Structure 1
Amino acid sequence: MRHSKYICAMLLTALSAITSSNAVSQSTPPVKLIVGFPPGGSVDTIARAFAEQARAQLGLSMIVENRPGASGKIAFDALQNAPADGMTVLIAPTSVIELGPMVLPAMKFDAIRDFVPVGSLAEYGFAVATGPASEAKDIDSYKAWAKANPSASSFATPGLGTPQHFLGTQLQKELQIELIHVPYKGGANSITDVLGGQIPLLITTEQVVVAYEGQGRLNTLFITSKNRNPLMPGVPTAKEVGLDQLESVDWFGAFVKPGTPTGKVNAWKAQVRQIVASSSYIDAMKKLGYEVPERQPADFGALMTAERDVWTERVKLSRFKLTQ
């Protein structure tokens, strides 16, 4: 009898411990990764891949919370309204962070003042490609064609105020040719019209042109990344074709709210470094068409300041005006 009572007591103690452990686990909320775009897009996909690796490698519980709308402003507001406890993290491309306040009146924030970057999750470059309208196979032949056909020389982008828009105006300056901007509402229609011969030049992301590599439908003149894309080893970089000013990448950053304790900020930086350096994460990004930075920037503030200066000059060059 005493033995039975002892066993029951032990079971009750164990059950109590398990219940207590579960209560602690359930009472600790997961980290929220805020994404300002719908599910399935590039930012959402990267955030989910990062969350998956965080769970697998570090046992961290994370959920992706999509807050689409207002070109990312709703997500930015969500971070600014959250507690500064490191439990809410914004995942956003720097082109939106840097360009937003320059091209959208509602984006009244300062990226360096209002966000604390803790890591770079992935990056990609842009691509300049031609379709059948010009049949140019390299940048020199397109330049010659554009000089001979100034009224027909135009470039398609996903829209006004996008990085592609401003890269196009800079390309015009560097080549000293006429380039008429034809903005679309998204990238799909722009690609269709370039393939159909209505528009001679396309400025898009590297991921888009990779899908057409080797088909003979698009001719990628160059990419803006620092290094050649291993999926398109024959395509030169901007620097290799003498267009150093066009070298540019967009990187997806993780940001916390200002005021977050230094210890938590440093912990986040260490966690990001560990996750993005893993082979499983790098492989996941490559399958999605993205590169992982070889090393995290030592001074994110300096990096963001430098990039903002570059984009500011590109916006000025385009004579873009904010619309109220």
Structure 2
Amino acid sequence: MPKSRRHDMKRPRGLGKLIAVALALAAGLAQAQPGGAIRLLVGFPAGGAPDAVARVFAEHLRLASGANVVVENRAGATGKLAIDAVLAAPAGGLTLMVMPSSSLLLTPMVLKSANYDAVRDFSAVSALAEYGFGMALGPAAQGATLADFSAWAKSHPDKANYATPGLGTPQHFLGAELARQIGAPLTHVPYRGGGNAVTDVLGGQVAALITTEQLLVPYQAQGKLRAVLVTSPQRNAKLPGVPTARESGLPQLEAVDWFGLFARAGTPAERLAEWQTRADAVLASPGYRKAIADMGYALPAQPTAGLERRLERERGIWSERMRVSGFKATE
């Protein structure tokens, strides 16, 4: 049995020193802005996954440093409204953004109106949490494994389809890659958000669902959906019986996304360094680690190191997945 992901809940060494440094840095930043407020922009509605992670981070930043942190939702256009707001804000390190890295990378690829460069125009401060994607079958599909679904899809091409939260999303391109790899004509059924996609798969209107791993957990436990694949390198601890893409013979589908803390380019280097120290302190705190684990996410092994290289690498991967899918950018 492959090892499941585990979240180390032990108190990291040097935590007290990190928090003390973060407290001093927070005081300096707060003095630099009238009212002392630090703004974290989220490009998605309140209650969604990016919002939840942003609010957990903000709360533990307050606890660790005493900083006045305000989370603002700028929902719309797959995160573009928040992206534009951060780019328009002063580069003083007081307005940042919490965003899935895939959304930051894919938006300028799929929307012609998003005329920014994800690596050139932003500085990645920290990865806050990581997650993979998963595929599950609903009552309209037959079988309980990916092999079963593949065989069924080939013999029922008129019924073989999959639901995602929308066009141009990671789930869309992973589904297109899956269809290419198994040689089955899977029809993409995009929705405006994941909630409606889940509803129609549960109701039998669509055969399969591709979403984030943690959203599959309750439906798998209740027997309402049959999870057949996760894209993380390791099995999900809350879905221990579900194989990874690599275990299923599909390493091309391996994918890990992450919620990142981003500042606009031009933010002074000393401010970025301060933010990274503060983020390290929050991510080392037992309360934050437990909250993230309880939400079903993994903690990044290196939250602040090598993020620019990681973004460059992942941009190439998503760009290639988009290319082979045949999807073209829209207005």
Tell me the TM-score normalized by structure 2.
0.86
Query: How many angstroms apart in 1 are the aligned matches of 2:160 and 2:311?
Result: 33
Unmatched tracts of structure 1, length 5 or more: 1-23
Query: How many angstroms apart in 2 are the aligned matches of 1:81 and 1:192?
Result: 37
Matching residue of 2:164: 157
Task: Choose from 115, 124, 132 the match for 2:122.
Answer: 115
**CA root-mean-square deviation:** 1.9
Matching residue of 2:10: none
Matching residue of 2:21: none
Identical-residue share of aligned pairs (%) = 48
Matching residue of 2:255: 248
Query: How many angstroms apart in 2 are the aligned matches of 1:186 and 1:280?
Result: 30
Task: Measure how far apart 1:87 and its partner are.
Answer: 1.1
Instruction: Indicate the SS of the match to 1:172.
Output: helix
Matching residue of 1:275: 282
Task: Choose from 304, 315, 318 the match for 2:311.
Answer: 304
**2:185 is aligned with 1:186:** no
Task: Measure how far apart 1:120 and its partner are.
Answer: 0.4
* Higher RCO (Cα < 8 Å, 6 or more apart): 2
**Aligned-partner residue type, residue 123 of structure 1:** E
**2:99 is aligned with 1:92:** yes
Task: Measure how far apart 1:26 and its partner are.
Answer: 9.3
Unmatched tracts of structure 2, length 5 or more: 1-30
1:8-63 Cα offsets, whole Å, 9 max, x none, are xxxxxxxxxxxxxxxx7995522111112222221111111111101111222211
Query: How many angstroms apart in 2 are the aligned matches of 1:78 and 1:27?
Result: 19
| Matched ranges for 1:22-101 at <5 A | 27=34, 29-101=36-108
Larger of the two Rg values belongs to structure: 1
Task: Measure how far apart 1:114 and its partner are.
Answer: 0.4
Matching residue of 2:153: 146
Structure 1 segments, 4+ long, off by >3 Å, are 24-28
* Equivalent pair of 1:92/1:254 in contact (CA under 8 Å): yes
Aligned residue-pair number: 302
Query: How many angstroms apart in 1 are the aligned matches of 2:33 and 2:325?
Result: 52
Query: How many angstroms apart in 2 are the aligned matches of 1:78 and 1:134?
Result: 43
**Aligned-partner residue type, residue 104 of structure 1:** L
Matching residue of 1:170: 177
Task: Measure how far apart 1:272 and its partner are.
Answer: 0.9
Task: Measure how far apart 1:197 and its partner are.
Answer: 2.4
Query: How many angstroms apart in 2 are the aligned matches of 1:192 and 1:34?
Result: 29
**Aligned-partner residue type, residue 44 of structure 2:** F
Task: Measure how far apart 1:118 and its partner are.
Answer: 0.6
* Equivalent pair of 1:297/1:303 in contact (CA under 8 Å): no
Query: How many angstroms apart in 1 are the aligned matches of 2:151 and 2:217?
Result: 25
Task: Choose from 103, 106, 112 the match for 2:113.
Answer: 106
Task: Measure how far apart 1:74 and its partner are.
Answer: 2.1
1:129-155 Cα offsets, whole Å, 9 max, x none, are 111222211111111111222222111
* Equivalent pair of 2:128/2:303 in contact (CA under 8 Å): no
| Matched ranges for 1:234-245 at <5 A | 234-245=241-252
Task: Measure how far apart 1:184 and its partner are.
Answer: 1.8
Task: Measure how far apart 1:293 and its partner are.
Answer: 0.9
Matching residue of 2:203: 196
Matching residue of 1:6: none
Task: Measure how far apart 1:89 and its partner are.
Answer: 1.0
Tell me the TM-score normalized by structure 1.
0.88
**Aligned-partner residue type, residue 221 of structure 1:** V
Task: Measure how far apart 1:297 and its partner are.
Answer: 5.4
